[in-house]
Amino acid sequence: MASSRSNLFDPRSKEPFKLSRSKLDLFQECPRCAYLDMRLGVKRPSGPSFTLNNAVDELFKREFDIHRAAGSPHPLMEHYGIDAVPFDDTKMEEWRDALRRGIGTLHAPTNLFLRGGIDDVWQTPSGELIIVDYKATSKKEGPSSEEDLYDSYKRQMEIYQWLFRANGYKVSPTGYFVYANGRSDAKAFDGKLEFDVVLITYTGNDSWVEPALHRLKEMLMSEDIPPVGVAFGGGPCDYCTYREAAGKKLQEIHKAKKK
């Protein structure tokens, strides 16, 4: 699906280019896919919308907001011995609005305006902020440690930490994933789904973000499409591999028909 022309990067423009957190993550995953998206308007096919995950996110937000208003720790925080409370700030709803606002900053050296929408922020007694993300899944053995996290989840956390630091906040390197795992071992459904909820600690390192912005800007300014190859994530891009294989096969069929 082609994207709106207004969302495409124009090398001649002097206006800041608005860059979502997911686009920077796409670049880290595959520069070629990122170029096709941001320069040529050819997006990757989107997967199904996980509406159940969205429902869990919304319920988590309501639950933590009760304690935000009361200035009290959530029972999950008490269970894991975390000395903090949900951060009560007038900008919370703005920061959560990933589609229209979120938290953002202009990276002056590249003229890229990076922004993202967070799930939650907690605050320690010393005023340090803790970035929190909600996740939901349903597996026989639910996630329990940092090793169970996808690399994209880790980058997501680190981008949020970088954005808050860029906005002048003191941010803890330790973030948390509130992970809900849907249970399938009940005797019957009975119109409800039960979850096991765990807190997974992740110590982020956002030192890669600024160099990535510079590399992204350099790529966007170029007229050369990045080659098919190994992405920054460490493996071949399935989308690029598919496009190349399909393109070659279609060319073979086209040539055969012309003979």
The share of the chain scoring above pLDDT 90, in percent, equals 68
Q: What is the mean pLDDT of the chain?
A: 90
Average of per-residue pLDDT across 23-41:
94
pLDDT of 68 reads: 97
pLDDT of 1 reads: 37
Separation CA 81–CA 62 (nearest Å)? 22
> Which has the minimum average pLDDT: 79-83, 100-104, 157-161, 210-214?
100-104
Separation CA 226–CA 219 (nearest Å)? 8
- Does residue 182 sit in helix, strand or coil? strand
Do the beta carbons of residue 138 and residue 181 sit within 8 Å? yes
Q: What is the pTM of this model?
A: 0.90
Higher pLDDT, residue 187 or 116: 116
pLDDT of 36 reads: 95
Other beta carbons less than 10 A from residue 105's beta carbon: 16
Separation CA 194–CA 160 (nearest Å)? 30
Give per-residue pLDDT as tens, 152-175.
999 999 999 999 999 999 999 999
